[in-house]
Structure 1
Amino acid sequence: MRVILVDDEKPALEELEYILKSFGDIHIAGKYTDPVKALEDIKDLKPEVVFLDISMPEMDGFLLADAIMKLDDSIQIVFATAYDEYAIQAFDINAVDYIMKPFYEDRINKTIQRIRKGMGNRSNENNDNIKNAIKGHSLKKCNKLAVWLNDRIILINQCNILYCTVKDGATYIITKDNEFYVPDTLSKLEEQLECQHFFRCHRSYIINIEQIEEIIPWFNNTYNVKMFGCDEKVPVSRRHIKDFKNIFNF
């Protein structure tokens, strides 16, 4: 069983590694204090299980778990944290995917046994619980998004997004300086964005209304919008015109 450990506190990593090494069939494929680096390596290392802390700077455990499952939803996720407040938010009291610090061998043994039973089942109950936990946590609470630039993971602030779009069936985020790939649908991306700053102006576009430089009248009573620092014009479709006008009171 290939396992990766992610925790911004090195002593916690070492404690968990020590316990897991007592299980003969577990191979620690990597341990990380940097969740972004962990996500980049997970793509290549292809672990079967990831133990990860929830409370981490830059990229918390819920955001990381979401990004991991977009890469491969067969990966088993185990949350590990010192704060039981997250257990109340995220899981049913009997869930096995949530362990508290400090770690105890008998508790981790139960987790490992249940993970073994779920290995190879891509729709197993454990990962359904994780997905529900992420949904309940609401990724809107995090103002950063994990995106891909070539083979690197970049964390971008939502305020720097100009617009999001779909091209050739793939979803991209456009900023003033770069174009980033997102392994998600435009509708799922919309759920993660701060609703008061972003507007679905077209089936293929979401715009950051704070980044609009100019509204340009177009044919058939529609509009194009020009974003700051961007030459491309983004269309506002007829079905969204009324809501668009209401935003700016015109």
Structure 2
Amino acid sequence: MIQVILVDDERPALEELEYMLEKYENIEVVGTYTDPLIALKEIKRKKPQVVFLDISMPEIDGFSLAKEIIKLNFKVNIVFVTAFDEYAISAFEINAVDYILKPLCEERLDSTINRIRDNIKQDAIKINSIQEVVRQLKKPLIRIPVWKKDRIILLDPKEILYCTVEGGETYVVTEKEKYFISDTLSHLEEELEGFFRCHRSFLINTEYIDEIIPWFNNTYAVKMKNRDEEIPVSRRHSKVLKEMFHIK
């Protein structure tokens, strides 16, 4: 049985797709969600083989949600659903990823289900293909999902003081909290504007640098707003820091 989860902020759209999927043998809808954050939590728990994602949703869109699903590291077919053709539809024609335009068409859905069945049968789902779609359709991050124990919180990047790696895991730090994030510093560096990779283990928000402290061997440390810890700046990045703040 192929387990499927549907995510769309409009309940009628969910019900229509669920109804259309009922005619397919070996397809089982194990969850329908209008809230992307609840959906992400359940996708992590249930690990379905297929997720249908609406693209246009408030707070976190389908592309951002797809990236979070990819980070969960299990084999999944992601099918994007959209009412518009403005999202470079041709980019979806990549193995293991499909798209469906609203209003839904039975013939088009048949094609999608056949593709999914082939992928699962061959055990050839290419997660990199999903990443490529997301990369081609990259949009500025408005809010990013972070984890506090088993809760998912949507965080405004402007609230982040710095990101750091501890024990092989990545965390984001605000003035009041510290959150786990399923990402790498390198990916965050690409996505977050106004952040500076001062050290292999630190990515800092330059807007919150409160103090620059000279260290040994022409290196520096920085202190962030309302934080006591000193964050190291590697020798390689100290020159960039000096140029950034016109330090002689």
TM bucket, shorter chain: over 0.9
Residue ranges of structure 1 left out of the alignment (5+ in a row): none
2:241 alignment partner in structure 1: 244
Paired residues of 2:3 and 2:50 also in contact (CA < 8 A): yes
2:115 alignment partner in structure 1: 114
Residues 58-69 of structure 1 mapped to structure 2, 5 A cutoff: 58-69=59-70
User: What is the DSSP-based 3-state SS (H/G/I as helix, E as strand, rest coil) of the residue aligned with 1:56?
Assistant: coil
Q: Among the aligned pairs, what percent are the same residue?
A: 55
Q: Partner amino acid for 1:240?
A: H
1:132 alignment partner in structure 2: 132
Q: Partner amino acid for 2:129?
A: N
CA distance in 2, matches of 1:21, 1:128: 30
1:208 maps onto 2:212 in alignment? no
Offset, 1:186: 1.4
2:153 alignment partner in structure 1: 154
CA distance in 2, matches of 1:67, 1:181: 13
Offset, 1:95: 8.4
1:225 maps onto 2:222 in alignment? yes
Paired residues of 2:88 and 2:137 also in contact (CA < 8 A): no
TM-score (normalizing by structure 2): 0.93
Q: Partner amino acid for 2:69?
A: I
Offset, 1:20: 0.6
1:170 alignment partner in structure 2: 169
Paired residues of 2:97 and 2:130 also in contact (CA < 8 A): no
User: What is the DSSP-based 3-state SS (H/G/I as helix, E as strand, rest coil) of the residue aligned with 2:19?
Assistant: helix
2:71 alignment partner in structure 1: 70
Paired residues of 1:166 and 1:172 also in contact (CA < 8 A): yes
Query: Of Structure 1 and Structure 2, which has the larger fraction of its residues in helix?
Result: 1
User: What is the DSSP-based 3-state SS (H/G/I as helix, E as strand, rest coil) of the residue aligned with 1:219?
Assistant: coil
Equivalenced residue count is 246
> Taking structure 1 as reference, are residues 215 and 51 closer, same or farther at Cα in structure 2, changes over 3 Å only?
same
CA distance in 2, matches of 1:102, 1:75: 24
Offset, 1:89: 6.8
User: What is the DSSP-based 3-state SS (H/G/I as helix, E as strand, rest coil) of the residue aligned with 2:228?
Assistant: coil
> Taking structure 1 as reference, are residues 147 and 94 closer, same or farther at Cα in structure 2, changes over 3 Å only?
closer
Paired residues of 1:202 and 1:235 also in contact (CA < 8 A): yes
Residues 7-156 of structure 1 mapped to structure 2, 5 A cutoff: 7-88=8-89, 90-92=91-93, 97-119=98-120, 124-125=125-126, 127-139=127-139, 141-156=140-155
Residue ranges of structure 2 left out of the alignment (5+ in a row): none
TM-score (normalizing by structure 1): 0.92
Offset, 1:133: 1.0
